[in-house]
Structure 1
Amino acid sequence: MDSRRRLSIRCLTGLGFLLSSVAFLSLTADRWREPRLNLKNVEPATKVRVFTAPKTNVWADLRPDEADEVYKFLSKEWVDLNITRTPRHTLDSFIYTLETLQPNKSDVLPYLWTQESAPPQRCAKAVLSHALDGRAHYSYHAVGPLPVSPDTRVVPLTFPFTSGRHYVSKDMPDMVSTMEFCRSLAESVADITTELLGARVDRDNPNGPDSLLAFPRTTWNDAGHLFGWVQFFRPGYNSGANSILPQGIYARIDAVDGSSGGEGEDTDADWKVGEWFYNGVLYENLNKFRAAVFEPGFLKTPPNVDGPWTDTENFDASPDGRELPPPISIQPLGPRYKLDRKERYVSWFGFEFYFTSTQATGVSVHDVRFKGERVMYELSLQEAMAHYAGDDPMASGQEFLDSFFGMGTNAFELVPGYDCPAYADYLDSHLHRLGKTERLPSNICLFEFTSDHLLSRHTTATSVTVSRNTFLTLRSVSTVGNYDYTIDYVFYLDGAIEVKVRASGYIFGAFYARNAHKTEDEYGHRVHDALSSSLHDHVISFKADLDVAGTANDMVHLAVEPVTKTYPWDQPHFGRRNTMHLREYPVERETGLDWPKNAGEFYLVYSSDKKNAWGERKGYRIVSGTGIGSTPHLTVVNSTVLADAARWAEKDLWVVRRKDTEPRGADPFNYIDPVNPLVDFTRIANGEDLVHDDDNETSPTADGDDSYDGDLVIYFNVGSHHVPHSGDVPNTLAHTSASSVLFVPHNFADRDPSRESVQGVRLQLKHKREGAGFPGQPGGGDGDDDDDEEPSEEEEELKLRARDGNGNGREGKGGHHKLHTGANYFGTPYRRGVNLPLEALEPDLEKAYQSGSHRVSDLSSNGSAAGMRFQEP
């Protein structure tokens, strides 16, 4: 067997996630944490100790030195390709991205759960941009083993893709030629744009108030031809709000890519301009459009003009109360979670997990355990889609698959004290692209927070018990073009896990044309002078590789159903009762599911063989979470623009077999070739049998084996059917766009596990035993304070509760609290005041924020969308 074949097999069995982590953890000597605040006057917490992860983070991204070593290795291996770090054209050969090739679960589990097993072999995943048969391509390659040695090889990476291919064709001109064509096109109609819009393209001041931008939007891609439309926008000189400043002029384009010819041919695109569209009228060519514009009586539509209405902030308003700062959360005594910053490993009140980040999909969580038991192997973003509808040439064909732009690549520095509390731990990420490493400072945060609502409470006649709802959040924010997505992984004291996404930013609006065709709000609402909102669906896919108390799991529908029953104890007085009962339906084949009507079914993932103390199967329930409504799937049926690129969006959630060869439900390059995507989800959710042998739990299924051991994966969607309204101008608000999915323990423990960790108080009220009424009710005790009163029934009960099973008092052993009348705290309350420095309340952002500028994706052109900004020759 040759060395290339050996490496292919080694990477197949040892590693396998499609897009792995970008978030390299800074190598600090202190594995505990780096305090952001110098709290000199604060009551000291327990002594800070070194905290170390039990295992190496096998999902962690390449360190900068590792990436540099791989770049050097590939430059030698691909010396005939003339690899460059400064590409100037799409046919140049360059390493587009480089990151860790995530290991296969079948190789990771032995390492995690046995002492003898070594960590899986480490490899890199390189995306090469190069010419093949005269055409530009992206192709995936595996590089390993690492560190680089004489045994290291580079081979095509094919096993994660349902297509069997490891490459896609880039049937598009480069960014420079694309934007140059658009500028030239706009300049050629300067007389028309001046007449209709009072503006024209200005190369000297492209973002000026009277300048225009021209953006292309491709709607079909077929064997070297780009068909689409160019639309004119104002740049948004006050705010960068060009997506809500469309101007209503559209030009049809057909680009024949010169790279479709042979090697060495002229690769500049041959652009052709066809019809023009304005105010509901389609003009055959530019001459006819120009003639119509300057005809007397030509019907003009008002332009969208930038102004204060697009500003996202108001510095001058002063309603009552704005003169004072708002309440904020503080953490005066330090964190209660433990963080190994190097390995990115977290421990918090029974939860333990690793996390990392990838360039395409951002932060992911791995090996989640609760109270020492397995819950999830992986929780990660797969894809974020926005699919639009409209009656103009731009909106009607507009869709985005944001992993192509890079949810991790575009996760920029967080604003301390605003994106996350000032006291949060902030961590950096690194990107390895174009032969260079780029640091994204403080773009992931971790913090504990106490909600404004309780976790639980109960009031009796003589007591009140309340429990604070404190949770742990791992957060990042991805800014893809006009939208900012805040992505949270939230962990609760009862063992629940929530994935929550909030969207904000500018909508992508449509031009509001005033013509006879605009008779109703079919695709949105008018929200400004010449601006219409654009109806669109956000569908954001996540993967949950559940391992509930082990890898052998089953999924069931637990239905709440109406039923008519007779009971022997009811006879003969009551013949039949119309009531309800529970009925379980096992999911025996891979399938897609929608949230049930009236929430009439529970979706449960059970352990196949592990039970709690009461003989019930340990499980987790999957529910639509704490957003403003049930999470959606795509409204469009059989999308003509997405084709087979996002079939996962057609149901709310899916259950499938877990396979090493199916590590992801999507691929970023599906955006380039939606008709023949690298990952076709229908080949993952293809109806395979989910019935399994319970005895086959210990070793994950080897791919190619017909057996199935119960290791299943849930793909689920969050998002919204977004119908923007006037309240979305200037920006969509995050509290109205939030959606989430919760994984809630269901018989997983023997009782509520949060009782051990929650903070709260029981107020035991004073009362007398005299009177015939119930305490707290008329005729009962009057609540007078009398130290000579005999013990009440409630106090007698407290004494009994303070004893162990043998009737002995427990307060003397193990620190058990002696219950008494008054305030009984469980957990530690604050006992005295603290003095905080100003930075704990309001960080100095002129010093704390490091970034000079952000490389936000420009959704208008293919070069920027791909993250490549080729240098001008």
Structure 2
Amino acid sequence: MIELKSRRPWVLLSSLLILVGVAAFLVFPLDHEQSPIGYASKHAAPYKAPRQNVWAELTEGEAADVNNFILKEFAHLDLKKHPKSARDNFIFVVETLKPNKTDAASYLYNDGPSPPERWAKAAIAQNLKDGPYMIYYMVGPLPISKDSVILPLEYVFNSGRNYVQNPMKDYTAIQDFALALAENVSDITQELLGATANRQNPSDPHGLLAVPRGSRVDAGGLTLWLQFYRPGMSSGARTLLPQGIYAKVDATSSDVNEWIVSQFYYNGVLYEDAEHFRAAVDGPDFERTPPNLDGPWTDTEDFESHPPGRELPPPVSVQPYGPRYRLDRKERFISWFGFEFYITTAQATGVSLFDIRFNGERVMYELGLQEAMAHYAGDDPMQGGLEFMDTFFGMGKNAFELVPGYDCPAYADYLDAEWHQAYQTHHTPNSICVFEYTADYLLSRHTSQYSVTASRNTFLTVRSVSTVGNYDYTIDYIFYMDGTLEVKVRASGFIFGAFYTANNTKSEDQYGHRIHEALSSSMHDHVINFKADLDVAGPKNDMVRMAIEPFTSTYEWDQPEQPKRNTMHLVEYPVTEEAGIDWPKNSGEFYIVYSSDEKNAWGERKGYRITPGTGMGSTPHLTILNSTTLGDSARWAEHDIWVLKQKDTEPRSADPLNFFAPHDPIIDFTKMADGESLEHTTSDTSYDGDLVLYFNVGAHHVPTSQDVPNTLMHTSASSVMFVPHNFADRDPSRGSVQGVRLQMSGKKSGGFAGEEHEPSGDLRSRQMGRKLEGQDRTKASYFGATYESAIKLPLEAFEPDMAGYSSKEHDVTDLSISYKVGAAGV
């Protein structure tokens, strides 16, 4: 227990209640149904959202009804409930089809009497004449009734189709092929690596895996490179343990039995086939590389070291009186100091927010992840063409249970998530947390002649963590008391390393650094795309680039002493057509979205500024030009910000199935950002001024030895902020922030500069604070509540009981065998 020293006694009447309840609200649950919500939100009067969450994910019952309806209506497809391979037809995914904005707007903003129709989206694996496909359908309206139908879902894709061919027709056969290949060269791998593949136990920690990676995707099939890795499939550190043997496979045939193993690559040398490789190994001039062996160097924990200070626990944040935000758990609606918004999830993209308002005015209709891409560079057959599109693996379904007291404060509210795949509903407990936090820096402060004022910086965070293969992405939506919003992403986990060869003629130092005996870092770009559908004080908006430019001017009051003055001024450049924009040099431009109609009390247009946030500097876009690997699947990564018209037919910048068809994606962003006019002031235009921004966060990651074993989050943080720009008449945080005004000793203490001192008068007449009881009024005065009495907190408030951690063992996405995650792997 710990005691916080009392400064005021007036809330003693509530102390008994607090002491009785405080243990309940900070103890982590024994199972997911005892979600670790705060005492106040658990026992206070229920809070209800003003309207229904029309974007909510399907319930388990809705998903079951949709599955059963498809099974009935598509009986001719002989859909399998337990598919054996991609050659079977089956329902892969069902989820909510988010309503069109135009349909939702009348319900949200125009007092529509009923919410828009609810529909589901289904991805069905269908085996056609030329192989397996993934095909999208829309099912509804819900609930399922005699009026419900199944239609091709086409209007949200600009490719002219609602399907993508699955290039991997039989993943089990591919695994068998890779094992057979490894067995055929087991003498070579034993000689060079000291290990062989174990067909009986592919997870053998002492064995090898031959992992395929497609280097070319064509309509006629694949060309694969297979690289050997150790140890087995259960190792989390396998991306640090590449082995330097690569095999090339001609996989253009649809029949895996017709695939041909051709070249081998080792230590910078390309061999025509296995026999030439074997002969070279036996030769006198063969140059070997050191082995890349596992060991304590890949351990993420050190239980043995005891530097001074580690014997004491670190400081933590506590919330003795419960949360100050209001939460409707059923509708996933939150209200906090002027902000209001809805939360929803999707298995591909994770958490999104809708209908964000501040002090009753509209700010954004939608804010959410679109895609998380990583693109590598290197001079070996694996790293040279490596890229990942993480929504394909599922940023939502791979958002696992958060660790209380570590991922989020012990006092956070935790929300569960559900997703529906292969006829099953998967429940992930406590995968989203909501909490208030007070920063280690102030929101504002000022020392004047007579007093100093300090305002605490308390903000609200909605957080989730998605573990996609080797990386853990912490995604935060942060709300500040002045109306600012921030989207922040931090990454940790194991890097995807490259094998470091012993060949001095190699060029691998162009792509990274040697970071272990036989391991090189591999440079890569993380570009993570978000959508921000801004409705600043309404849907009718304009975007401008407000530049800060030097210029020379003449002023009448400056004559004759200064004929010309070199200075600077603001120049506004309207963004009049859809375009991609990069952050300016020297931060020399402000990017602002203004309301076209609404102004504040001073006649200035209400706006929000878009700017790099509190991460490691300006957010990046993709370095590679016209990526031969990505094709047209991620053109949004080529600039920092994009401004587009809002269209119901363009709800997303990407689709998970773009990963299957990068050169002919189902959503081609270039067809969205096609230079259409954003002018809406003339009478002959059909555009109403409703614009959408797509913006990127991420990093140019060049790992160093400090990334072993894991990349650290404070070195990988990236964010974009949306900051009010004349949106209000004054700083809104003044009415909600907590702080203190300290009055300096002296005859005029507590007064304001420029005022005549009146000893008998109240020199703090402008201040809304109250003085400490029993103390002289010239000492301190507080605005907002303060802690008033001693509070005893249980141990769980500082170190939650992990015996109650409720997660079960699960499969973490294996990026190095990425095609398994598609229809072939179900």
TM interval, shorter chain, is over 0.9
The alpha-carbon distance between structure 1 residues 336 and 686, as it changes in their structure 2 partners (threshold 3 A), is same
The CA deviation string for residues 298-350 of structure 1, in whole angstroms up to 9 with x for no partner, is: 11001100000000010011001111111111111100001000100000000
Partner of 2:705: 726
Q: 1:376 to 1:776 in 2, by over 3 A?
A: closer
Structure 2 residue 816 is the aligned partner of structure 1 residue 851 = no
Other-structure match for 2:763: 798
Displacement of 1:36 in angstroms is 5.3
Q: Distance in 2 between matches of 1:830 and 1:407?
A: 40
Please name the residue that 2:175 is paired with: 179
Task: Give the whole-Å Cα distance in 2 for the aligned partners of 1:694 and 1:829.
Answer: 55
Does 2:557 correspond to 1:592? no
Other-structure match for 1:822 = 779
1:494 aligns with 2:491: no
Please tell me the residue identity of whatever aligns with 2:781.
N
- 2:251 is matched with which residue? 255
Quick one: distance in 1 between partners of 2:204 and 2:487? 41
Give 2:744's aligned residue.
Answer: 765
Q: CA deviation at 1:236?
A: 6.5
2:400–2:466 contact (8 Å) kept in structure 1? yes
Q: Secondary structure at the match of 1:648?
A: helix
Give 1:203-222 correspondences, 5 Å limit.
203-222=199-218
Q: Does 1 or 2 have the higher relative contact order (CA < 8 Å, sep 6+)?
A: 2
Matched, 1:193 2:189: yes
Q: TM-score, normalised by structure 1?
A: 0.87
- Secondary structure, aligned partner of 1:58: coil
**Is residue 365 of structure 2 the alignment partner of residue 377 of structure 1?**
yes
Q: Which runs of 5+ in 1 are unaligned?
A: 1-33, 259-266, 696-704, 778-789, 804-809, 813-817
After superposition, the C-alpha distances for 1:826-870 in whole angstroms (9 at most, x for unaligned) are: 1101111211111221111122x2122122111122443327644
d(CA) in 1 for partners of 2:242, 2:602: 63
> Is the contact between residue 238 and residue 311 of structure 1 (CA under 8 Å) also seen in structure 2?
no
- Give the whole-Å Cα distance in 1 for the aligned partners of 2:256 and 2:453: 73
Q: Which residue of 2 aligns with 1:538?
A: 526
The answer on 1:67 being equivalent to 2:52 is no
The answer to whether structure 1 residue 58 and structure 2 residue 54 are counterparts is: yes
The one-character-per-residue Cα deviations of 1:65-97 (angstroms, maximum 9, x if unpaired) are: 111111111100111111112110111011110
Count, aligned residues: 792
1:526-605 aligned at under 5 Å gives the runs 526-605=514-593
Which residue in the other structure is 1:637 paired with?
Answer: 625
> Where do 1:432-831 residues align within 5 Å?
432-518=420-506, 521-693=509-681, 707-768=686-747, 792=757, 798-801=763-766, 820-831=777-788
Counterparts of 1:77-92 in structure 2, within 5 Å, are 77-92=73-88
Q: Which moved more, 1:615-624 or 1:218-227?
A: 218-227
What one-letter code is carried by the residue in structure 2 that aligns with 1:79?
A
Report the Cα offset of residue 49 of structure 1: 1.2
CA distance in 2, matches of 1:38, 1:243: 33
Distance 2:414 2:765 in 1: 48
Counterpart Cα distance in 2 of 1:517 and 1:855: 40
Distance 1:272 1:316, change over 3 A: same
Deviations 1:390-447 (A, max 9, x none): 0000000100111111100111111111111111111111111101111111111111
Separation in 1, partners of 2:690, 2:445 = 38
SS in structure 2 at match of 1:65: helix
Offset of residue 201 of structure 1: 1.0
SS at match of 1:405: coil
> 1-side partners of 2:647 and 2:466: how far apart?
29
- Provide the residue aligned with 2:19 in structure 1: none
Q: In 2, are the aligned partners of 1:611 and 1:617 still within 8 Å (CA)?
A: yes
- Distance, in Å, in 2 between the alignment partners of 1:45 and 1:669 is 40
Deviations 1:156-204 (A, max 9, x none): 0000011010000012133211211111111111100110011111234
Aligned equivalents of 2:555 and 2:132: distance in 1? Answer: 74
Which amino acid in structure 2 is aligned with residue 567 of structure 1? Y
Q: C-alpha offsets along residues 114-173 of structure 1, whole Å, 9 cap, x if unaligned?
A: 334310001100000011224100010000111111110001000001101000001213
Deviation at 1:737, TM superposition (A): 0.3
1:865 matched to 2:821 = yes
TM-score (norm 2): 0.92
Superposed CA deviations along residues 359-417 of structure 1, whole A, max 9, x for unmatched, are: 11110000000000000000010000000000000000100111111100111111111
* Contact persistence 2:85–2:824 (CA under 8 A): no
State the shift of 1:228 in Å.
Answer: 1.8
Change (3 A) 1:45 1:268: closer
Q: Which amino acid aligns with 1:83?
A: L
Task: Report if aligned partners of 1:171, 1:257 keep a CA contact under 8 Å in 2.
Answer: no
The CA deviation string for residues 501-523 of structure 1, in whole angstroms up to 9 with x for no partner, is: 00110000001011132356200
Percent identity reads 60
1:706: how far off?
A: 6.1
Distance in 1 separating the partners of 2:184 and 2:643: 54
User: Is the 2:751–2:764 contact (alpha carbons within 8 Å) kept by the matching residues of 1?
Assistant: no
2:245·2:266 contact (CA, 8 Å) conserved in 1?
yes
Alpha carbons of structure 1 residues 392 and 576: separation in structure 2 relative to 1, 3 Å: same
Alpha carbons of 1:622 and 1:576: their partners in 2 closer, same or farther (altered >3 Å)?
same
CA distance, structure 1, for counterparts of residue 698 and residue 783 of structure 2: 38
Structure 2 distance, partners of 1:277, 1:676, is: 30
**What secondary structure is seen at the aligned counterpart in 1 of 2:622?**
coil
Conserved 8 A contact 1:389-1:396 = yes
Which digits, 9 at most, give the CA deviation of each residue in 1:439-466, with x for residues without a partner?
A: 1111111111111111000011221111
List gaps (5 residues or longer) in structure 2. Answer: 1-23, 30-35
Give the alignment's Cα RMSD to 1 decimal: 2.5
